[in-house]
Chains A and B, each alone.
Chain A
Amino acid sequence: MSSNAWLPLLVLGMPFAAFLLLAVVAPLRRSGPRAGLVSIGAMAIALAGALTVWVEGFVGETTWAWIPADGGPIATVGLLVDPLSNAMLVLVTLVSLLVQIYSLAYLGDERPASLGRYYTYQSLFAFSMLGLVLAPGFLQMFVFWELVGLCSYLLIGYWYERPAAARAAVKAFWITKLGDVGFIIGIVLLWSATGTFEFTDLFEKAQEHALAITGLPTIMFLIYLGAVGKSAQFPLHVWLPDAMEGPTPVSALIHAATMVTAGVYMVTRTEPLFALVPEVLTLIAWVGAFTALLAATMACVEGDIKRVLAYSTVSQLGYMMAAAGAGAAYAGFLHLLTHGLFKALLFLAAGAVIHAVGTNDIFRMGGLFRAMPQTGIVFVVGTLALAGVPPLAGFFSKEAVLGGVWEADLTGPFLMLALTALLTAFYMFRVVFVTFFGRAHAGGHPHEAPWLMRGPLWLLAALTVAVGVRLALVGAGGQEETPAWLAPLSIGLAAAGFALAWAMYQRGAIDPARVAAGLAPLDYLARRRYGLDALYTGLYRGFILAFSRLIGWIDRYLVDGVLNVLTALTLRAGDRLRRIQSGRAQDYVYGVAFGVLLLIVWAQLWRQ
C-alpha cells in the first residue's frame, strides 16, 4: 500500500474503530459522556488526517478485490482520492467533529446509555459517509449509500419513544428507498452493459466514445433517481422536513452538510457519464430549480425554526442539482461546500435557541438578541451567507450557480432560481426579525449556550467569513466567465428580500396577514405542503398496507389453512383407524381371515 493510501485509510478507519469499540464494549458505551469523548477523539484524528490529505493534494486510487473472477475482479473496494473527495473528507470530518462536540452539551440531559447509543450511531455515520465519498466504484458507493440511509433512520429516530420521531424515521427510510431502487437498477443495468462498476474504467470508456449503449439515458436517469431520494429533490423531498424530529445536531450534520449532499456528490462524481446524456441533465436542472422554488415558498409560511431551515436545505440542494444539470458541476459542488458550513452553523445556532427557550416556534420567541447576543450574531452571519451577501462564502457559490445556469441557456430554471434567491433572503430575515428582535415574550430565562455549544458556532461563523474572503481574493475559479450584471442582480435580490422582511416583520409596515390573504391560493397550498405529504400517506396506506393485509390473510388462511387441514385430517384418520384395535381377539381373527382371503386371491391371480 503506497503512502498515499494509508492516510485516507486512517481517516476512514478512525470512526469505524470508534464505532466498533462503542458497539462491542457495552460498559464504555453506557458511560455516556466518556463514549462521546471516544468518538470525538477518533473524529479529531480523522480530521487531522483529512486536512493533511487535502493540503498535500494526494491523488490516487487503491483497490482490493471483493468478488474475484477470472478476468479481473467483478467488484472491488477501495479508496479513490482526488480533489473532489478530499474536499468532502474535510467537510465531513470537520462538521462531524463540531457536531459531536456540540452534542455533549446539547444532549447533556440524556441518560448515559442513550448518549452512548447516540455517539455509536454518529461514529457509524461518519464511517459510512466517508466510505461513500472515497468509493472508487458504484458498488461500494451503493453499499455505503444504504449504510448512510440506515444511520439517518437510526439518528432521526433517536428519541424512539416519541411516535412522531419513529414515524419520521420510517418515512425517511421509505422515501429514500424509492430512489434507491432506481439507483440499484441503474447500476446493475450499467454493469450489464459495460461489465464494470469502477468509475475510472467507466470514465475511460466514456472518453473513448465506447459507451454508446442504447438506453443510456434511461440508465443514467435511474441512477439520478438515487440522488432524487437522497438529496430531497421533488417529488421525494417530503422526508426532509419531517426528519427534523431528530436532535438538532443530527439535523445539522446529516440533513444539512453531509448525507443529503451525497446525491449531489454522486452526480458530480459521475459527471463524465451524465455529460453523455444531455437530456437527462436538462431534466436534472429543471427539477432542481423547481425544487428550489417550491421549497422556498413553503419556508415562507413555516413557523417552526427547524422546519424553515429544512425547507431551506431542500431549496439549496435544488440549487446544487440545477448547477450540475447545467453542466456546471463545479459550481454546484462549491455551493455544497459553502452551504455545508453555513447551514450547519444555522442549525446549531437554532439548536442553541431551542435549548434556551424550549420551543421551536418562532412566534413564541422574540427579542432574544438581548439575552443571547453571541448566538444572534452568528445566526445573522449564517443568514447573510445563505442570502448571498458578499463577502461571505454563500455569495460566491450562489453567483457561480446562477452563472452556470445562465451560460447553459436554461432560462426557465434561471428565473426560478432568481426568484428563489429573493424568497431565501426574505424568509431567513423573517426568522431573524421574529426570533431575535421585536418584543420579548414572557416566560423562560433565555441565556447564552454553554461554551461547548458556542465554540463550534464561532468556528463555523469564522470559517464562513474566511472562505468567503478567500474566494473573493482568489476567485471562484469557474470555467466560464459570469456575466457582469449577475453580481449586482444577486445582491439586489438579496437586498429586496431583506427589505421586504424588514418591512413586514420588523417595522410592521406591511401586514403579513394581508399579504397572505392577497396570495391566498399560494398561501393555502404552501401551508398544506402542496398536498404531497397527504398523497404519499394515502398511497402508503392504500397500497402498501392493503398489500400487507392481503399477504397476512393469505398466510393465515391459505398457508396455515393447508397445514391445519392436514393436521385435522391426520387426527381424524387416526381416530377412525383406532377402532380397529378393539381389544377383542375375535375381531383380530377376522383380520387374519381377511388376510388369508387376500392371499388366496393374489395367489390365484399369480398362477394365471
Chain B
Amino acid sequence: MMGLPAYLVLGALVFSIGLFGVLTRRNAVGILLGIELMLNAVNINLVAFARFNGDLTGLVFTLFTISITVAEVAVGLAIVIAIFRVRRTVEADRLDLLRG
C-alpha cells in the first residue's frame, strides 16, 4: 500500500515539471500545456488528501477545478488565436507590449 507521501511527491514532481514548461517554452500554446500539467498535479494532491483524510470536500473541489480549468483553457486559447490574428506570431518573447 503506497502511503500519502508517495502521492504527494508525485504531485510535486509533476508540478515542478509543469513549472519548467511554463518558464522555458517559447510558444504560447506550449506555456498553456505547462499550466495544464501544474493544474493536474494540484488535482492529484487534492484527491490524495481527500482519500487519506476521509473528507469528501477534496473530491468536490477537484471536480470544480477540472471544470474551471476547462473554461480557462477555452478562453486562453481564444485569446491566443486573437493575438495570432493581429500579430501573426504566438511567440511569447514577441508579445511584450507591456514593456516598461
Contacts and interface: CB of A to CB of B under 8 A. Distances in A.
Bound pair (A, B): yes
Given A589-B23, A590-B23, A593-B23, A581 B98 contact: yes
Interface in B26-61: 31
Contacts of A583: 95-100
Contacts of A586: 22-23, 31, 92
A578 interface: yes
Query: In the complex, which range does the number of interface residues on chain B fall in?
Result: 10 to 19
Interface string A574-608: 00001011111110011001000000000000000
A593 B95 CA distance: 21
Contact of B95 (A580, A584, A589, A590): A584
B19 interface: yes
A423 to B, nearest CB: 87
A212 to B, nearest CB: 80
Contacts of A581: 98-100
A206 to B, nearest CB: 80
**Chain A, interface SS category:** helix
Contacts of B22: 586, 589
Contacts of B31: 585-586
A593 B92 CA distance: 18
A586 B24 CA distance: 8
B23 A585 contact: no
Interface string B65-100: 000000000000000000000000000110111111
Nearest to B31: A586
Contacts of A585: 31, 92, 95
Interface in A115-146: none
Contacts of B95: 583-585
B69 to A, nearest CB: 18
A580 B97 CA distance: 14
Nearest to A596: B19
A80 to B, nearest CB: 76
Residue with the highest number of chain B CB atoms closer than 10 Å, among A584, A586, A590, A593: A586
A590 B31 CA distance: 13
A577 B26 CA distance: 24
Nearest to A577: B100
Nearest to B100: A581
Contacts, number: 31
Contacts of B98: 581, 583
Given A589-B22, A593-B19, A593-B23, A584 B92 contact: yes
A581 B97 CA distance: 10
Interface centre among A580, A589, A593 (most CB of B within 10 A): A589
Interface string A542-584: 0000000000000000000000000000000000001011111
A585 B96 CA distance: 8
A582 B96 CA distance: 7
Nearest to B22: A589
A572 to B, nearest CB: 16
A582 B99 contact: yes
A18 to B, nearest CB: 69
A589 B23 CA distance: 7
Nearest to B19: A593
Contacts of B96: 582-584
A502 to B, nearest CB: 97
A578 B23 CA distance: 21
A577 to B, nearest CB: 9
A590 B95 CA distance: 16
B93 A584 contact: yes
A580 B93 CA distance: 14
Nearest to B98: A583
Contacts of B97: 583
Given A586-B31, A589-B23, A590-B23, A578 B93 contact: no
A593 B19 CA distance: 9
Nearest to A590: B23
B79 to A, nearest CB: 12
A593 B31 CA distance: 15
Nearest to B35: A589
A578 B22 CA distance: 23
Nearest to A593: B19
A50 B92 CA distance: 98
A178 to B, nearest CB: 62
Contacts of B93: 584
A585 B100 CA distance: 13
B100 A578 contact: yes
A570 B92 CA distance: 31
A584 B22 CA distance: 12
A586 B92 CA distance: 8
A25 to B, nearest CB: 62
Contacts of A589: 22-23
A340 to B, nearest CB: 81
B11 to A, nearest CB: 16
Contacts of A578: 100
A590 B23 CA distance: 7
A585 B79 CA distance: 14
A586 B31 CA distance: 9
A580 B100 CA distance: 8
B7 to A, nearest CB: 20
B65 to A, nearest CB: 19
A31 to B, nearest CB: 66
A213 to B, nearest CB: 74
B75 to A, nearest CB: 15
A489 B66 CA distance: 130
A581 B31 CA distance: 20
A201 to B, nearest CB: 75
A582 B31 CA distance: 17
A534 B12 CA distance: 92
Contacts of A580: 100
Contacts of B100: 578, 580-583
A338 to B, nearest CB: 87
Interface of A: 578, 580-586, 589-590, 593
15 contacts: A578-B100, A582-B96, A583-B96, A583-B99, A583-B100, A584-B92, A584-B96, A584-B99, A585-B31, A585-B92, A585-B95, A586-B31, A589-B22, A589-B23, A590-B23
Given A582-B100, A585-B31, A586-B23, 9 more contacts: A580-B100, A582-B96, A582-B99, A583-B97, A583-B98, A583-B99, A584-B93, A590-B23, A593-B19
7 closest A-B pairs by CB = A581-B100, A583-B96, A583-B99, A583-B98, A584-B96, A578-B100, A586-B92
